[in-house]
Amino acid sequence: IELNARQGQITTTGWTISAQSNNGVAGNVFLTAADDIRSGNITSFSKSNTGNPNNFSTIKLDSKSGSVILDGVQLTTTNIGSDFAGDININAAKNIEITDSRGVDNQNNELGIISQGFFGRITIQAGDDVFITNSIVNAIAPKTLPATSLGDDRAGDIDVTSTSSKIEINNSLLTTTTESEFADAGNISLVAPQSVVLRGTNPNTDFRQFISSDLNAPKPEQGLLAEARVSGKNAGGIDITTDELKIENGAAVSVSSPQGQAGDVVILADKIRLNNGAIFASTGQSRNPNEGANIVLLGKNTNQSDTENLGSKISQGQQRGDNLPGSSVDYLLLSNESLIQANAYKSADGGNIAIKTRLLLASPPTGENGSDISANAQGGKGGVLAIDSRPLGAYNIESRPHTTNTPLNDITATSQIGLDGIVSIALPDVDPRRGFLQLPEDLGDSSRLITQSCPVGRTQAASRFIVSGRGGLPPSPSSALSSDALMGITTNASPRETRLMQSSSPSSILVEAKGVNIGPKGEIIFTANPSKPTSDNSWQRNTDCNAQ
């Protein structure tokens, strides 16, 4: 099915476009427009077992010079056979807006932007902004999939790209998931030159509820999730590249395989802010005795080659806080019970965390646990935490033995049963905190600094300054007074009459004041003649405390 608008837009809202084959591969659905595309539901259903890796269907929306708007829309490719699930491609020269694309159907199947089967790739690419709000984007390998001969079977990948601007994901979940004993989970990649924002709806989320080896334990529902929900299968990895990353209000970035091997979280950004946000890597197995799931936070200009096998190099002692590769993050800010944690369950060794930032700053704790950075294990060895915080340092967060019920901002690498891990932090050669002076809480009695020569309550006559009328002093002594500074008689005469009055009155000529007199009522009168100084009749009143 192909719709092509070479000079206009395509609108199919309220319609459902469906391609289906119960014994083979369904056809493709292509919508191509010069301008905007506003699509309705599109489904592609296949049952294909040919063993041909090129045998799959595709849903493609392509706006050449406009935007793609999906409001309450379901895009689904499904293959219940052993062949590939099919791809979903959404391209726009301007913006891509996906709103309210979530829910379940009558058979309790999840609805959203979904590819079900092996290797179904979801690609979202905009020239400008990408907005995903209240939606689900899921590349899933369901548990009903049969075995396949394609090799290295896994769920599909999710790639989201803004070529020139930003990505905002609000109250939404982008997830690649496996429920199949024959497939691993896929990978997630986000690239935006300006910013990536992951925003949830609960600014008081307790992320420690997600730390569990139980496959049925709750998982983050807002943010990015690469997850293996079946024992022995692997979760994929998550990569984010941008200038500024914000994770807030309960959103999380998580790779999780509590009974298998998790992938890595690699974030290349110049500014990273977590405000009740989390970054997880949770694993139940290790690929080898020295490696678990890893979290890497480096600057945006870091080469991809610098991140390859970094976890293994850290485990083997080749990399520590003082020799991490790549460029530095400008700052990493943690606040409001945020969490960066690599968890290892059962006998798995802890994952490693590598952070290279010019400044690491944690806000004062707002709850029972504070904001923590941890590489912990249950039965295996704790992970390695390598942090380079030069040249500005790390503040309000310190290395401590454990984080359980600690209302402080902690850095830990521990094991409940096995050996504790290693915390390696490179700090500036000159620590600014060493020059701080601990001031006493009571700097002195401020009341002693106030003179008692004129205590309140005595009868006294103090000087006063009273403002009356309009205007004020000129900007400089050489400037003439403005008209607003003159106080004259109010008149209702017309402008012409006023000019005649001024021209016929010789007294209307302005003269610079050279003296001042005190009137009978205490008013100040400026005079054209200089005042005669007097020493016994000063207009300033006596401020003696005993004056009556």
CA 189 vs CA 155, 176, 489: distances in Å: 14, 11, 78
Please report the pLDDT score of residue 129 as a whole number. 98
Nearest alpha carbon to residue 412 among 448, 369, 454: 369
Q: What is the phi/psi pair of residue 393, to 5°?
A: 105, 180
Pairing type for strands 524-527 and 515-518 reads antiparallel
The label of the residue with tokens 């950075």 reads 373
Please report the pLDDT score of residue 24 as a whole number. 81
Please report the pLDDT score of residue 328 as a whole number. 96
How far apart are alpha carbons 110 and 140 in whole angstroms?
10
How far apart are alpha carbons 151 and 146 in whole angstroms?
13
CA 308 vs CA 280, 410, 469: distances in Å: 19, 28, 77
Residue pair 529/514 in contact by the 8 Å Cβ criterion: yes
The label of the residue with tokens 């689904």 reads 76
How far apart are alpha carbons 441 and 462 in whole angstroms?
36
* pLDDT lower than 70: segments of the chain: 105-107, 148-152, 287-292, 402-405, 430-510, 522, 531-548
Burial, 89: exposed, middle or buried (Cβ in 10 Å; 0-12, 13-18, 19+)?
middle
Q: What percent of the chain has pLDDT over 70?
A: 78
Q: Which residues pair with 115 in a beta bridge?
A: 77, 139
How far apart are alpha carbons 221 and 218 in whole angstroms?
9
How far apart are alpha carbons 98 and 293 in whole angstroms?
31
Please report the pLDDT score of residue 259 as a whole number. 86
What do you get for the CA distance between the two ends of the chain, in Å?
Answer: 103
Cβ atoms < 10 Å from Cβ of 193: 14
Q: Which residues pair with 10 in a beta bridge?
A: 37
The DSSP letter of residue 28 is P
The label of the residue with tokens 């646990």 reads 369
Residue pair 74/46 in contact by the 8 Å Cβ criterion: no
Residue pair 548/462 in contact by the 8 Å Cβ criterion: no
Please report the pLDDT score of residue 255 as a whole number. 94
Q: Which residues pair with 183 in a beta bridge?
A: none
Cβ atoms < 10 Å from Cβ of 290: 17
How far apart are alpha carbons 263 and 140 in whole angstroms?
16
Please report the pLDDT score of residue 36 as a whole number. 97
Cβ atoms < 10 Å from Cβ of 218: 9
Q: Does residue 124 come out as left (phi exceeding 0), alpha (psi in the -120 to 50 range) or beta?
A: beta
Burial, 495: exposed, middle or buried (Cβ in 10 Å; 0-12, 13-18, 19+)?
exposed
pLDDT in tens, 23-55: 888 889 999 999 999 999 999 988 887 777 777
Residue pair 88/115 in contact by the 8 Å Cβ criterion: yes
Please report the pLDDT score of residue 441 as a whole number. 65
